[in-house]
Amino acid sequence: MPANWMDHAIASVAPRMAARRVMARQAFETLTRGYDGAARGRRTEGWRAPASSADSEIGMAGALLRDRMRDLVRNNPHAAKAVAVLVNNIIGAGIMPRAASGDEALDRRVDALFERWTAECDADGQLDFYGLQTLICREMVEAGEVLVRRRLRRASDGLPVPLQLQVQVLEADFLDATRTSTTGATRIVQGIEFDALGKRRAYWLHAEHPGDAHGALRGGFDSRPVSASDIAHVYEKQRTQARGVPWGAPVIRSLRDLDDYEVAELVRKKTEACVTAIVFGDDEAQQGIAPAVVDADGNRVEQFEPGLIAYARGGKDIRFNQPAATGGYAEYKRANLHTISAGFRVPYELLTGDLSQVNYSSIRAGLVEFRRQIDAVQWQLFIPMLCQPVWRWFTESAWAAGQIPTPEVPVEWSPPKFDAVDPYKDAMADLLAIRSGTMTLAQAIARQGHNPDAVLAEIAATNARLDELGLVLDSDPRRVTKTGSAQTSDPAGEPDADDTTADDPAADADETDPAQPDQQD
């Protein structure tokens, strides 16, 4: 900030004082030009922003947020759809594992054992492992968190692996949130016990759900510690909190307001449709006196229904009410649903099914960010917090049962594929990526949600069966080119040098357009 005339006048007799004055004014100007969000004044009056920790905030509001979100999911179709969209995209048919130890025999053995175990892993005997994934993910999104407890079983139980997971009874309510204390080096935060290094040591769990009749009678004082090695706590960490909150927490009020608005709109529409007629008397009509309408018992009629004709005493002149129709309902609801979809981090079109405002390019581009978000949830949240612990429990139990030689088996996970908006273009993109070396065939198969080893083994078995029967299919690239002509091969099965159709980029380029006629025709 430049010096003014007073600064120059002071500088003529006291230069240091003038310099300090200018510097102080510059510092004050810098402070006033800080963050608008931190400014105090009329615009920010009433804005409460406590500097509390995430655990303190969740401890005070977590249970109420969970209860309200569950009520909305039960009764509000938009909340139910948002949860369903997230679960369907995160889990789909299931996040499938594939042993990757490098020992093919061991990998096949572990994969076969895991496939047998998935059908028996539910303690209730109703779901398989991938069904449990869906249940866990739904509870994580709806309630904010879920606890998965491993249950060890005896070898005499007849299970492929003496291990079961018990998920259905371990909702977030089972965690005793009243257990919060600090004793020496032990710290308990809302039922989660930490050691001196801040590592989770135990979870204090109720024996029964506090919302059940038996759990309520116990008074919630029956919680016992369960080793953290037997618990997988699945939730989204937005800060360094110990527990999670419902994903729709930012729009709980918006969902409730939308419900109230629709009820008010329904009442208003009923009122607008309530056409009634009142027969006035001459004197009452001239003097503007409200008619005294009574029923057969002499009671005053104060509620009107559509089609009602009310008679005042001595009435001779009939008048009809004039209901006024008002609009704006569709615009308000669409704007509110945009807010709700943003709060759930779900595209508006997926939340509502309304595709009237998009075209092919916009919906394809809009889904890119959503798919990137789903990838982050799968690889940074769900797989590390649930899938990896379950795989570790499985291999440890299989090793203890003598089924495999080692308790540690590396694993690769294959999340479900995203259905292509244009399957042909996506398939051609994968083909080009494989041929250019930027992606392997195994990666392409895994992106489809399948086990590459199983798929390749099935392809080899199918090809061997076709050769045995002497069948040549148009889909067999070993025998037929993309243009439909026969491949010419030497005895070793390699294409001849003069047969460049399969490897000629120009030929492939001509064939990428399905509208082009077949040159062989």
**Spans of all domains in the chain:** 5-38, 56-268+327-416, 274-320
Q: Pairing between strand 309-311 and 277-281?
A: parallel
DSSP class per residue in 468-505: HHT---TT-TTTB-TTSPBPPB-TTSPBPTT--TTT-H
Q: Which amino acid is at 176?
A: D
Task: Residue count of the chain, please give it.
Answer: 521
Q: Cα separation of 491 and 495, whole Å? A: 9
Calculate ∠ Cα 165-166-169, nearest 5°.
165
Q: Which helix (H) or strand (E) holds 13?
A: helix 5-13
Region of 52 on the Ramachandran plot (φ > 0 left; ψ -120 to 50 alpha; else beta)? beta
pLDDT at 294: 60
Helical segments of 41-128, H only: 54-75, 77-90, 104-118
Mean pLDDT of 301-323: 63
Q: What is the pLDDT of residues 480-495, one digit of tens each?
A: 887 777 776 544 444 4
Q: Cα separation of 171 and 264, whole Å? A: 35
Q: Cα separation of 161 and 197, whole Å? A: 34
Region of 509 on the Ramachandran plot (φ > 0 left; ψ -120 to 50 alpha; else beta)? alpha
Question: Where does the pLDDT of residue 217 fall: very low under 50, low under 70, confident under 90, or very high at 90 and above?
Answer: low
Ranked by mean pLDDT, the top range of 272-281, 350-359, 383-392 is: 383-392
Question: Where does the pLDDT of residue 270 fall: very low under 50, low under 70, confident under 90, or very high at 90 and above?
Answer: confident
pLDDT for 496 beyond 60? no
pLDDT for 300 beyond 80? no
Query: Nearest CA to 167 among 116, 130, 195?
Result: 130
Residue in the block written with tokens 């299931």: 94
Residue in the block written with tokens 């010096």: 3
> Residue 259 in contact with residue 76, Cβ under 8 Å?
yes
pLDDT at 516: 44
Q: Cα separation of 412 and 343, whole Å? A: 32
Q: Give the three-state DSSP class for 21.
A: helix
pLDDT at 205: 92
Q: Give the three-state DSSP class for 55.
A: helix
Residues 6+ apart with CB under 8 A from 240: 54
- Order of strands across the sheet with 231-235? 163-166, 145-152, 231-235
* CB burial readout 130-156, b (16+ within 10 A) else e: bbbbbbbbbbbbbbbbbbbbbeebeee
Is 246 exposed, middle or buried, given 0-12, 13-18 or 19+ CB atoms closer than 10 A?
buried
First to last CA, the chain: 81
Q: What is the pLDDT of residues 397-420, one digit of tens each?
A: 889 888 899 999 999 998 988 877
Mean pLDDT of 141-156: 87
pLDDT at 384: 96
Q: Give the C-alpha distances (Å, rounded to integers) separating 190 from 120, 242, 248, 389.
A: 33, 8, 22, 22
Question: Where does the pLDDT of residue 219 fall: very low under 50, low under 70, confident under 90, or very high at 90 and above?
Answer: low
pLDDT for 444 beyond 80? yes
Q: Give the three-state DSSP class for 68.
A: helix
